[in-house]
Amino acid sequence: MTSRAGLRALVLVGLLFASILPLTPGSSAEIVCCDTSEFDLFLVGENDGATLTPFKSELVGINSKGVSQSVQGTEEISSWEIVWKQSGTIPESTWEFSIAYEVENAAGVHANATVEVKVGNNAYTAESGNPGVFFTGEGLVTIDLDIPQIAINSNDIIEVTFSVRSMLFSQPGDDSSIQFIWGEDTDSSIRVDLPLLTIDMPNALVVEGEVYFPVILRSGFGERMWSSLEDFEFKNGGSIITDVRSPSIVSGGIEVPFVWNPGADPTDGNYQVELSIWLNEGEAPLTTGRTHTITFEEGVSQNYHFGEPARAMNSRLDVDINVNYDGSKAVRTVELEIEGSMASWLRWGMDNIGNSSLPSDHLFAQVQSGAISPSLRENGRVDDVESGSLLNYIDSSTRNLEIFLGNTGLALNPDGLFEDSLFDLNPEIEIDLMGVVGIDDAPMRIRIDVVYDLTGKDRDVLLVEDFIRPQLGNGIWTMNGEPAVDLSVKLKTSALAGIFAVLTEDMSEDIKITHYRLGYAEVVSLEVEGLSDDVSFVIEYQVTGNALYSPLVTLLATIILLFAGVVIGTRMTKNRSRIIVTLSSLLFVGILGYVYTLSALPPTFVMGIAAASTMAMVPLALISPRNTDWTMSEGDMAEDYEQSISKVIPTVDCPACKTANPVMSSERPLRIPCGGCGRKLRIED
């Protein structure tokens, strides 16, 4: 691996000198770099999704295939392919295929490994040799393929197939096998010599006191050649320029404007710029540059033409969903706050409504432009009539709104954001540029309001489910390669409209739901930061048309049942100790307070627990000890026992039947029933 890294560094350093030496001061021509490059295409995915990528940042997850000792003949491990978009000439070179492996339950494996590479209509094959290779433990098997000088055309398919045969296990055990592994952190790849990238540097432009240095990266990977890079650095002289405006899509690639502020009284002259890009961490950079002749003229400003901003760069999306349910309908507001390259793309698109150069399948080519004056088109700002045209387009048809939210627009799935088909919800839409009308990354907001009729229905209603469509590369909604979708959802009911239960499916551990009741409302909420397109979840709420299950009725029923329990316990312990009943009452109040407010249990369970608490008061009162008029003395327990058995209990004779009735309480006045005739006796003192 060390010699391989050294060779890689030497090749890239050679590219550095090859790209810089032809430059001469004052050159105004575009600089083109490079014809071909040596780089790794990493193996990623499986089955129909098996492909190749030069970016380690796109390696997510690990794939593998095992081969056991029972397999006879040739076993194909996998086939990976990619459509190459860059035309050129492949020089005579040696490509190196590498794949990780791990031997399980055996001392080793003898096998013959074969790699076949197809480039367009040309096929090349190499083997590990005869009698093959001996695999032991875990490691990396490499096979070299000799590739002659051939032409590669745009849209040619490069296919790599790896297979093994003639397998013989040494000291096999139960379930002996060899696993071939590729994907994240495996170094499984094929090192190729291909036309990967062309870098153009048009002349610098002085725009309102700032200097724009355009850089155009053309490759078969489109926007990903910028968004999936490990890192980059752009220097003007010895100073690093960090002001990078929104990249834009150009034919076959992407244009990135680096902007330098020269300050007051800038000096005319030649300025040397240099761009370094790192495909992957730890690799030597690909570096090129040129010299710009810049003249600063007071009062003179050139124009920088903003091309279509690339969507898959750095974009943030905040989704705020508010639902109000009143028992008959659910009023939903979905607010999408968009920031970054997608905000620039939307503003650019509105400014380019009516642009005849847009492809016919482009989102903004579908928007009617009749109301927009030609003088307002492509003027670098969003005019009211342009934002109004987009609003009319998405507000006039739910199909148009679905297209706008879908893959050609915001790359979202509307079915995950709304209770039902948008066709049945009659959405109302607002677009808020938040005061920024230029082609800018600043936040903008789109609001969609719908009403869902639930009159008299008992059913499960969608609150939210995963709504981000998977994207190529790092995806649209990422910031610096990290997921950048924040989700906030809040459902609130009226006092007489409750939620029977909240139902979840495929819930991620990162998604936490809060459900609580108040006397005047029931609330369900959740907050998620950094939501990615690979997170799956479904959250629904169960409604019922019966007002008995509303938060107010549930609260009143709980209070009544709890009060009844306290009254029963108090009356049954009139002549008994009330310590057990009092402590139990406090405990039941705490339990029912939690159960009603925070437990999220259905209303029937809440009222059932309240009824059980009331019924529990009867046995608790019955086991409460009777009151006595003596207390324990300061002596030992024997003395207390003697005192208790010798204690004289006062009696009162019934005037009617002369029956002596014991008086167990010191309470006065006191009414007791006569044990003989049943008359009520009143004792005053």
Mean pLDDT over 398-423 rounds to: 90
Q: What kind and span of H or E run contains 35?
A: none
Q: Which of 2-16, 173-187, 390-404, 451-465 has the highest average model confidence (pLDDT)? A: 390-404
pLDDT at 642: 62
- 48-97 pLDDT, tens digit per residue, is 889 999 998 888 789 999 888 766 778 899 999 999 888 888 999 999 99
Tell me the Ramachandran region of residue 16: left when phi exceeds 0, alpha when psi lies from -120 to 50, beta otherwise. alpha
pLDDT at 334: 96
Contact 17, 283 (CB under 8 A): no
Give residue for tokens 């309001």.
449
Contact 400, 406 (CB under 8 A): no
Mean pLDDT over 401-418 rounds to: 91
CB atoms within 10 A of CB 270: 11
Return phi, psi of residue 96, to 5°. Answer: -120, 120
pLDDT at 492: 94
CB atoms within 10 A of CB 37: 18
Using pLDDT thresholds of 50, 70 and 90, give the confidence band for residue 543. confident
Buried b (16+ CB within 10 A) or exposed e, 353-378: bbbeebeeeebbbebebeebeeebbb
436, two tokens = 């920024």
CA–CA gap between residue 435 and residue 151 (Å, rounded): 52
Give residue for tokens 């300025």.
271
CA–CA gap between residue 184 and residue 191 (Å, rounded): 17
CA–CA gap between residue 519 and residue 542 (Å, rounded): 19
Return phi, psi of residue 416, to 5°. Answer: -90, -10
Sequence-distant (≥ 6) Cβ neighbours of residue 132 within 8 angstroms: 110, 111, 112, 113, 166
Contact 162, 190 (CB under 8 A): no
Instruction: Indicate if the pLDDT at residue 9 is higher than 50.
Output: no
CA–CA gap between residue 227 and residue 361 (Å, rounded): 23
Q: Are strands 478-479 and 482-483 parallel, antiparallel or unpaired?
A: antiparallel
pLDDT at 311: 81
pLDDT at 436: 92
Give the 3-state secondary structure of 248-297: EEECCEEEEEEEECCCCCCCCEEEEEEEEEECCCCCCCEEEEEEEEECCC
Using pLDDT thresholds of 50, 70 and 90, give the confidence band for residue 535. confident
Beta bridge mates, 483:
478
Contact 491, 503 (CB under 8 A): no
505, two tokens = 């499916």
Written as one letter, the residue type at 299 is: G
Q: DSSP states of 132-178 as a string?
A: -EEE-SEEEEEEEEEE--EEE-TTEEEEEEEEEEEEEEES--TT-EE
Q: Which of 323-332, 646-655, 671-680 has the highest average model confidence (pLDDT)? A: 323-332
- 169-228 pLDDT, tens digit per residue, is 888 887 888 899 999 889 899 999 988 888 999 999 998 889 999 999 988 888 888 888
Using pLDDT thresholds of 50, 70 and 90, give the confidence band for residue 657. confident
Instruction: Indicate if the pLDDT at residue 635 is higher than 80.
Output: no
Using pLDDT thresholds of 50, 70 and 90, give the confidence band for residue 131. low
CA–CA gap between residue 680 and residue 674 (Å, rounded): 6
pLDDT at 3: 37
In the predicted model, what is the mean pLDDT of the chain? Answer: 84
CA–CA gap between residue 178 and residue 101 (Å, rounded): 7
pLDDT at 414: 92
Helices (H) and strands (E) in the chain, counts: 9, 40
∠ CA 382-388-394, rounded to 5°? 115
Using pLDDT thresholds of 50, 70 and 90, give the confidence band for residue 31. low
Sequence-distant (≥ 6) Cβ neighbours of residue 269 within 8 angstroms: 293, 294
pLDDT at 149: 93
Minimum mean pLDDT range among 98-112, 434-448, 619-633: 619-633
CA–CA gap between residue 625 and residue 580 (Å, rounded): 9
pLDDT at 472: 53
Tell me the Ramachandran region of residue 372: left when phi exceeds 0, alpha when psi lies from -120 to 50, beta otherwise. beta
CB atoms within 10 A of CB 585: 20
Nearest to residue 668, comparing CAs of 677, 681, 656, 649?
681
Using pLDDT thresholds of 50, 70 and 90, give the confidence band for residue 350. very high
Mean pLDDT over 567-571 rounds to: 86
User: Radius of gyration over alpha carbons of the chain, in Å?
Assistant: 39
- SS3 of 550, please? coil
pTM for the full predicted model: 0.67
**Exposure on the CB side of residue 570, measured as CA atoms within 13 A:** 7
Give the 3-state secondary structure of 170-202: ECCCCCCEEEEEEECCCCCEEEEEECCCEEECC
List of long-range contacts for 625-634, beta carbons under 8 Å, 24+ apart? 625/576, 625/577, 626/575, 626/576, 626/577, 626/664, 627/575, 627/576, 627/577, 627/664, 627/665, 628/664, 629/666
Contact 551, 518 (CB under 8 A): yes
Using pLDDT thresholds of 50, 70 and 90, give the confidence band for residue 18. very low
Instruction: Indicate if the pLDDT at residue 15 is higher than 50.
Output: no
Which domains are delineated in the chain?
35-194 (2.60.120.260), 199-305 (2.60.40.10), 315-545 (2.60.40), 550-622 (no CATH), 643-683 (no CATH)
pLDDT at 588: 86
Beta bridge mates, 199:
33, 217
